[in-house]
Structure 1
């Protein structure tokens, strides 16, 4: 039996590596600590899977396209590698219209599909109900957050309450599980961005331009929150902690806030004074 030549073995090895590389990367990513989420934290709201499915689908599409492209490259390297004794190269052509149409239209097709599902996920994430279960007015200020719990009409609580965070004392945000929460966002100074990574959603907090979104926390636990917009000197300190708790514990926490000096709603113009009581108003325009 004749032995395979060394150059032939090397060619086959290179081709195998070219084809296996994207598949290996896919396997390593899928088997990582984040599992099939491809780097996303575990979702904490009912709306989050809209973005999670889009994210995972985009990764799968990327791996499939990458495997196809690398496979074709590997096949071309092996199939058309010039060897000693081969005939001269065939006549070269300047244009190949069907092939050029193919590699022009296919990317547009891929982008079109991704765009369609992106818009679909976006619409699902920003959809709001007429009557949410809970309303929380959020104020972003340099450099922390104010959370107003609007529960005056809630028979189980009967009062509004607020908490003001500072750089030295990070605020806690309590949310009732399986209740649709309306977040109304306002800024007291510059552009901030309200982001809870486990919600798979963030929204800018813009001065003079109120924003809002709904989210339904569906997993008990503690989650990190932060500002996702570079807003100034102490941007990195604009952190807060989200606690998703039972309805009973949520009501207890809000009543506790009100009883300990946090009764009522803190208005936008008061947020900065609560954080920096000696600052002149013109410094924050």
Structure 2
């Protein structure tokens, strides 16, 4: 039993400096925006630990040095103006600092550029996703050049087919969100971000992915009986691989049109 406990402690110590611990439970970020949100999350925890250490320090100090030693009433101190000012000013400073960094990072994450490299119209429906890749023609009008339409994942198949949203790494991608039935929510945990998909309103956001790979996504809003089957994947590929994929998708769409 002692050996098992020692091994457990050793394993915990060995993983204490791992990336997961440093991320404080958050997934590994894959985009510039996700990195910014992770930094805000870590900073908030540091501030929380600092405030907690001060509060617990004061509690322990009071317990040790101001505990009851006799039945005599200790000196009563009231209306101490410096302490009252301190108690009022310090929380305002803490709130102000947290508000500043939160507003700064929110503006960065929600920022949209004038001319993103890739535009994808994402439509959530009961119970899957459609990805329409949009480009401007010679007249400047947008049109759909490729589409990926999903079907609800079969719950009886462990690795059921999921619609895949393919994007290039190191390029600005704009996602525009639409829904034709009920409210959904577009969520890729690796982006550390999710956004509502609402009927009659277009939500949008941009991100720049830096890490190649395939990442799981899902609907994060209870949208009906088959909500849990509303899965998809985000696939980040190199620019060359994306150009090849898009060319093949365009050719397939053109062949279907004929």
- The 1:159/1:81 distance shift into structure 2, 3 A limit, reads closer
Question: Residue 230 of structure 1 is aligned with which of 217, 222, 226?
Answer: 222
Show the counterpart of 1:121.
105
Show the counterpart of 1:166.
151
1:181 is aligned to 2:165: no
Question: In 1, Cα distance between the equivalents of 2:137 and 2:49?
Answer: 51
Question: In 1, Cα distance between the equivalents of 2:172 and 2:16?
Answer: 32
Show the counterpart of 1:57.
43
1:253 is aligned to 2:245: yes
Question: In 2, Cα distance between the equivalents of 1:191 and 1:105?
Answer: 42
1:137 is aligned to 2:121: yes
- The 1:241/1:107 distance shift into structure 2, 3 A limit, reads same
Matched residue count: 234
Q: Report if the CA contact (8 A) 1:159-1:258 is conserved.
A: no
Question: In 1, Cα distance between the equivalents of 2:77 and 2:33?
Answer: 53
Shift of 1:246: 1.0
1:88 is aligned to 2:72: yes
Question: In 1, Cα distance between the equivalents of 2:15 and 2:104?
Answer: 26
Shift of 1:215: 0.7
Question: In 2, Cα distance between the equivalents of 1:261 and 1:128?
Answer: 29
Q: Which runs of 5+ in 2 are unaligned?
A: 1-12, 154-160
Shift of 1:76: 1.1
Q: Report if the CA contact (8 A) 2:214-2:234 is conserved.
A: yes
Question: In 2, Cα distance between the equivalents of 1:263 and 1:107?
Answer: 64
Shift of 1:116: 1.1
Shift of 1:32: 5.6
1:208 is aligned to 2:200: yes
Question: In 2, Cα distance between the equivalents of 1:167 and 1:80?
Answer: 65
Shift of 1:65: 0.8
Question: Residue 77 of structure 1 is aligned with which of 33, 43, 63?
Answer: 63
Q: Report if the CA contact (8 A) 1:159-1:255 is conserved.
A: no
Q: Which has the higher strand share?
A: 2
Question: Residue 191 of structure 1 is aligned with which of 168, 176, 183?
Answer: 183
- The 1:210/1:264 distance shift into structure 2, 3 A limit, reads farther
Question: In 2, Cα distance between the equivalents of 1:147 and 1:106?
Answer: 49
Structure 1, residues 181-214: CA drift from partner, whole Å, max 9, x if none? 1111111111111111211222211111111111
